[in-house]
Amino acid sequence: MFLKLAKLAEELKSPLITVELEARTKILKPKDIKFTQNYNLTYYRSTLYPSITFRQINDGQMESKETVEKIKLKDINIVLSVEQKIKRNLNLIKVNTRKVERAIINKSPYTTITKVNDEYTLEVEFDLGTHNQVMDILKQHKSPFWPAVKPMEISSLNLARKLIKTDQWCIAPKADGEHILIYTKNNDEAVIVHDNGKLTDLEGVEQEMIEPDTIYEAELLDNNKLLTYDCFLYKGNDISRLNYLERRKFLPKKSKKVAYQFNDLEGLRIILKYKFDYKTDGFIITNIYNRKLIYKSKFINTVDLRFKNGYLLLENELVAERIPKNTDYKFEEDGIYEFDLEMNLIKERKDKTIANYKFPYDDNPLYKIAYGIGLPSLKCFHNKMKTRLLEFLPKTRLLDIGSATGEDINKWHNLKFEQVYCIDPLLELNEHSKNVLEIKDYARNIPTDIKYNSVSIFFVPWDKDFIKLIEQADYFILICMSHPFDHQSETFTTKIENNKIYLNDQFIENLTDYNEIIGEFIELGWNHIKLLDSLDYGTENEKILSKMYTYHYFERY
CATH 3.30.470.30 domain range(s) in the chain: 152-298
User: How many CB atoms are closer than 10 A to CB 73?
Assistant: 13
Query: Which fold, 372-556?
Result: Rossmann fold (3.40.50)
- Note the pLDDT tens digit of each residue in 125-183: 999 999 999 999 999 998 999 999 989 999 999 999 999 999 999 999 999 999 999 99
Does the pLDDT value for residue 267 go beyond 70?
yes
At residue 336, the pLDDT reads 93
Instruction: Give pLDDT, residue 10.
Output: 92
Strand partners, 23: 78, 124
- CATH assignment, 2-141: 2.40.320
> Which ranges in the chain are annotated with CATH 2.40.320?
2-141
Distances (CA, A) of 500 to 121, 510, 548: 60, 5, 14
| Euclidean distance between CA atoms 259 and 173, whole angstroms | 7
Domain with CATH 3.40.50.150 in the chain: 372-556
Cα first-last separation, the chain = 50
263, 259, 250: which is closest to 175 by C-alpha? 259
**Rg for the chain, CA atoms, rounded:** 28
- Per-residue burial over 351-370, b if 16 or more Cβ lie within 10 Å, else e, is ebbbbbeeebbbbbbbbbbb
Q: How confident is the model at residue 188 (pLDDT cuts 50, 70, 90)?
A: confident
Q: Please tell me the predicted confidence (pLDDT) of residue 544.
A: 96
Q: Which CATH superfamily is domain 152-298 in?
A: DNA ligase/mRNA capping enzyme (3.30.470.30)
Q: Are strands 436-439 and 419-423 parallel, antiparallel or unpaired?
A: parallel
Span 448-482, pLDDT tens digits: 889 999 999 999 999 988 999 999 999 999 999 99
Distance between alpha carbon 347 and the CA centroid of its chain, in Å?
25
How many Cα atoms are found within 13 Å in the side-chain-facing hemisphere of 162? 21
Q: How confident is the model at residue 385 (pLDDT cuts 50, 70, 90)?
A: very high
When pLDDT is cut at 50, 70 and 90, the band that residue 88 belongs to is low
